[in-house]
Amino acid sequence: MTTDSTRSPSVDQGDGTRDEVREHRALGWRSGGTSERTEKLAVEEPLEIRLAGRRFTVTMRTPGHDEELAAGFLFTEGFINDATELGEIRRVRGRKGAPQPNAIDIVLNVPADQLRSRLKRNFVMTSSCGVCGKTTIDSIRRRVAPASDSARVAPATLLALAEKLRAGQRVFAATGGLHGAAIFGLDGTMLAIREDVGRHTAVDKVIGYALTNAMLPLSRHLMMVSGRLSFEIVQKAAAAGVPILAAVSAPSSLAVELAEKVGTTIVAFLRDGSFNIYTRPDRITT
């Protein structure tokens, strides 16, 4: 069996710069025997994010929609307050002028002293997470606006979301290896979906889409993610003003605690014709 990995025809080019799927030879075991087969793998590569040419952070992601990922990350983590603080988003170029596939540079419209303050504040918040949950939750609650109290969604609309999310996950269908995050209208219309190897990265991508398309705050929308709901996903959704957050699988205890504090409705185990409501059930009509 060969062990080299080769590029396949792209399932979805994303932003047109990289393939999201590659092929690899594998041995399939069935009924006591093996046979060679070609498997499609979701691509995972690092993305270096720079601020005005200086290295800021590196995140693992599936290539595609990198500009949205960077913008969404900066917004959901509190490094920028809105789209007006986003300047130019550009690919880093190598010595010969060709764009580097795994590096992106962002120029912010933020005074240097304010940027330093935000970097310091967010470093403290990130460091406290997991050490003192209350400190982190209180910091996030002060930073994000309360979720809209007027948003309402019908149970029948919620029950249809899981199938719509799965139908929109084209790369997951090919590989079985990606998470999805989608924005819906309160009537259940899917407006945007993004996939990635990381749940939180998929959320950053779809929020970055909303940020760069003047959709924020998402006070008249809901978001759904594949898999479970973590603290980090609730934080990012709250920053975008999402009032109703749904998931195919379970929420964590800290995710529910944060949702209670910031007023987000959490709907989880949304599958097979049923769901659980953990916080703010008043937004689900009866």
Kindly tell me if the per-residue pLDDT of 248 is higher than 50. yes
pLDDT, tens only, 186-234: 999 999 999 999 999 999 999 999 999 999 999 999 999 998 999 999 9
Same domain, 110 and 203: no
How far is it, in rounded angstroms, from Cα 162 to Cα 160? 6
CATH number of the domain bearing residue 70 = 3.10.20.10
DSSP state of 229: B
Tell me the residue range of the domain where 175 lies.
Answer: 155-283
More confident residue, 95 or 3: 95
Say if residues 245 and 262 touch (Cβ distance below 8 Å).
Answer: no
Average pLDDT over residues 241-259: 96
pLDDT of residue 10: 31
**Closest among 267, 176, 215 to 71, alpha carbons compared:** 215
Same domain, 237 and 178: yes
User: 263's torsion region: left (phi>0), alpha (psi -120 to 50) or beta?
Assistant: left
Kindly tell me if the per-residue pLDDT of 146 is higher than 50. yes
Domains in the chain: how many in total?
3
- Is 149 within the bounds of a domain? no
Q: Final residue of a domain: which of 143, 176, 205?
A: 143
Range of lowest pLDDT (58-67, 103-112, 167-176) = 167-176
Same domain, 79 and 114: yes
Cα dihedral value 202, 205, 209, 214, nearest 10: 100
Q: For all residues of the chain together, what is the average pLDDT?
A: 86
Average pLDDT over residues 53-77: 93
Give burial (CB, 10 Å; 0-12/13-18/19+) of 17. middle
**Closest among 280, 281, 255 to 146, alpha carbons compared:** 280
Same domain, 267 and 256: yes
Q: Which active-site residues does the annotation give?
A: 129
Angle, helices 231-239/133-143, rounded to nearest 10 degrees: 20
pLDDT of residue 138: 77
pLDDT of residue 163: 93
pLDDT, tens only, 158-190: 999 999 999 988 877 677 778 999 999 999 999
pLDDT of residue 222: 97
pLDDT of residue 134: 58
DSSP state of 284: B
Kindly tell me if the per-residue pLDDT of 37 is higher than 80. yes
Report the percent of the chain where pLDDT is more than 70: 88
More confident residue, 131 or 208: 208
- Is 34 within the bounds of a domain? yes
Same domain, 53 and 32: no
pLDDT of residue 82: 94
Same domain, 16 and 63: no
Confidence of residue 255 (pLDDT cuts 50, 70, 90): very high
Kindly tell me if the per-residue pLDDT of 18 is higher than 70. no
